[in-house]
Structure 1
């Protein structure tokens, strides 16, 4: 697991109250969310130039065909609409690739096999590049790299995590949840940062549609996260936000203080303002 860095950001609830898009903050990467490789593991400019030598080219896809089974019509080879670049859609949009694209993918994988010790390392190289491009604000380039990481290793959780972050940043919460959930399903090591990020997206989704299931899922993820990593401050801050949404103010203050005691530098001013509007700080630390 790569090392990560964290900084404090405005809270999700605080931003929502001003009608702005929230940001997650479990292992921050610049303007986005998710984990970011340590500085020594982020691809250098020379590596960016190197990767261009064996990235697949972009082609347009047309047409589709169908077959009928005993129970339903199944689309086989559903091709992307003319002009749509599937490499810039999460997981290629589940579209069938053209013969030319499949050949380019084959050559890409072949070249990766020559340039990396393993496809696992090649996949991590491209997911690291995805995080780097995302930190620079280039969502299309980032999506492209995460897709390549997925092409190399379908179990690379960073591919799903990163693509989920991109969808979240665009306000596509349901899509973000689907992608991050796939990452969780493939994660045998229980990545707490990913769990907290997914919980935060569920909270954003609840603010948008008021579906109680989102609160239930956020609660389960955050409860598990605090058990696995009792000293992870952001898990408590997110738990505080969840309790605030449930109007459980005493619990919200309790978790806020837990998070603050663990990492004061991550003080969530937006959340603090929301709490103070509801009730004075029981400990009298904040006015």
Structure 2
């Protein structure tokens, strides 16, 4: 696989100097396709060569996809978001119908504080697989961050809806419950906030922000 990655890097460097080839598109989700970026002939050939190499070195396309997806997440958790995006893009080339690729795109954009853009990819992921509690949690987190930026409560309402869906899919999802507690505390809906606080504390009493707890339990 090191030979494959080296080959891809060489190809990108060789065509980056071409005036007709958009640069650095491998660190954009879907190579910038959603932003109207069009690959040049050299880049399209790179894609073809990459897939052919994968078909040669892996037993199946699924195995190649899984390998690149796992590498993408490994880089993500190391906070190496450029290399993570490159691997997610390669995984996307191998299977553009897999929901986890779009979740990965959205997570990287979220870490880059591009919350509005991240919504596009979380929703793509949910459209393909609406049963992943973690994607709903990620979607809710982006909605909540947009609320923090805009102070428009419509975003907080959407965050609450997403957190509820996450919790409904996974009743051990402590982060979803803690986010619901915080959200209802902001809205001063004490009964709802206390309901989710109780659930959160049963799962992990350290999950609630001390400031949220103090505000909620204040007489």
Q: TM-score, normalised by structure 2?
A: 0.86
Structure 2, gaps ≥5 residues long: none
Please state how far the C-alpha of 1:261 moved relative to its aligned partner: 0.3
Aligned-pair RMSD on alpha carbons?
Answer: 2.2
Please state how far the C-alpha of 1:132 moved relative to its aligned partner: 0.8
Q: 2:202 aligns with which of 253, 261, 266?
A: 261
Q: Which residue of 2 aligns with 1:93?
A: 32
Please state how far the C-alpha of 1:104 moved relative to its aligned partner: 1.1
In structure 1, C-alpha distance between the alignment counterparts of 2:198 and 2:4, rounded to whole Å: 46
**1:54/1:112 contact within 8 Å kept:** no
In structure 1, C-alpha distance between the alignment counterparts of 2:64 and 2:154, rounded to whole Å: 37
Please state how far the C-alpha of 1:50 moved relative to its aligned partner: 5.5
Please state how far the C-alpha of 1:53 moved relative to its aligned partner: 5.2
SS of match in other structure, 1:171: coil
In structure 1, C-alpha distance between the alignment counterparts of 2:4 and 2:197, rounded to whole Å: 44
SS of match in other structure, 2:144: helix
Higher helix share: 2
Please state how far the C-alpha of 1:171 moved relative to its aligned partner: 1.2
Q: Which residue of 1 aligns with 2:171?
A: 230
Per-residue CA distance 1:221-257 (angstroms, 9 max, x = gap): 2222222222322221121122123222332232122
Per-residue CA distance 1:195-228 (angstroms, 9 max, x = gap): 1121111111111112333223222222222222
Determine if the alignment matches structure 1 residue 177 to structure 2 residue 114: no
Please state how far the C-alpha of 1:122 moved relative to its aligned partner: 1.6
Check 1:118–1:217 CA distance in 2 against 1; reply closer, same or farther (3 A cut).
Answer: farther
Determine if the alignment matches structure 1 residue 273 to structure 2 residue 211: yes
In structure 2, C-alpha distance between the alignment counterparts of 1:246 and 1:121, rounded to whole Å: 47
**1:196/1:238 contact within 8 Å kept:** no
Determine if the alignment matches structure 1 residue 125 to structure 2 residue 64: no
Q: 2:150 aligns with which of 204, 209, 227?
A: 209
**2:4/2:53 contact within 8 Å kept:** no
In structure 2, C-alpha distance between the alignment counterparts of 1:237 and 1:50, rounded to whole Å: 45
**2:174/2:200 contact within 8 Å kept:** yes
Check 1:192–1:51 CA distance in 2 against 1; reply closer, same or farther (3 A cut).
Answer: farther
**2:200/2:207 contact within 8 Å kept:** no
**1:199/1:217 contact within 8 Å kept:** yes
In structure 2, C-alpha distance between the alignment counterparts of 1:121 and 1:217, rounded to whole Å: 36
Map 1:1-287 onto structure 2 (within 5 A).
49=2, 51-52=4-5, 55=8, 57-58=11-12, 59-60=15-16, 62-63=19-20, 80=22, 84-94=23-33, 95-187=37-129, 190-264=131-205, 267-269=206-208, 271-280=209-218
**2:174/2:207 contact within 8 Å kept:** no
Please state how far the C-alpha of 1:103 moved relative to its aligned partner: 0.8
In structure 2, C-alpha distance between the alignment counterparts of 1:251 and 1:51, rounded to whole Å: 53
Q: TM-score, normalised by structure 1?
A: 0.67
